[in-house]
Amino acid sequence: MSRIAYVNGRYVSHRDAAVHVEDRGYQFADGVYEVCEVSNGRLVDERRHFDRLTRSLSELRIRPPMSRAALGIVLRETVRRNRVRDGIVYLQITRGVARRDHAFPPESVPPSLVVTARPLDGAGRERSRRATTISTDWSRGPPTASR
């Protein structure tokens, strides 16, 4: 099966998917990404992912490329076109394509959006079920003088 990606308004073959060399995500890592689990063909915790995406875009002052409703349609359509029942959908939004310059581009430059989806193989699903996180308070303490 051929994979499909959504790139700036078009569904294209995964192998033909590309962003411009002067996309700020490529040049400066000036963007935001989000990875959502797909279970039984549905996005898991869609609202929470969209809330975090909105917060991240706001903090970086990147305008959303489309409304939440439209973005949800794009994500679900990408999942459908890739026939993903259990897997992940990945989206990346960047500040867009502009001449390489450290200043932000003008507001007229549209953000870039790339969405891909793929199934997880059995090993990937097993790893995700076993993943745990442990956190502790840890202080390095005051610096010590070298002798």
Beta-carbon contacts of 2 under 8 Å, excluding residues fewer than 6 positions away, are: 13, 14, 15
Residue 49 included in any domain:
yes
Domain holding 101, by residue range, is 4-127
Residue 67 included in any domain:
yes
Rg (CA), the chain: 19
**Strand ranges for 1-147 from DSSP E:** 4-7, 10-13, 31-39, 42-43, 87-94, 112-119
Q: Do 24 and 137 touch, CB atoms closer than 8 A?
A: no
Residue 98 included in any domain:
yes
Specify the pLDDT at position 97.
Answer: 94
Specify the pLDDT at position 20.
Answer: 94
Specify the pLDDT at position 2.
Answer: 76
Residue 146 included in any domain:
no
Residue 17 included in any domain:
yes
Specify the pLDDT at position 126.
Answer: 47
- Residue 147 and residue 143: Cα distance in Å, rounded? 13
- pLDDT beneath 70: ranges in the chain: 1, 122-147
- Residue 34 and residue 78: Cα distance in Å, rounded? 14
Specify the pLDDT at position 145.
Answer: 62
Residue 145 included in any domain:
no
Residue 142 included in any domain:
no
Total of domains in the chain: 1
Residue 144 included in any domain:
no
For the domain that residue 74 is a member of, what is the CATH number? Answer: 3.30.470.10
Query: Each residue of 49-84: pLDDT tens digit?
Result: 999 999 999 999 999 999 999 999 999 999 999 999
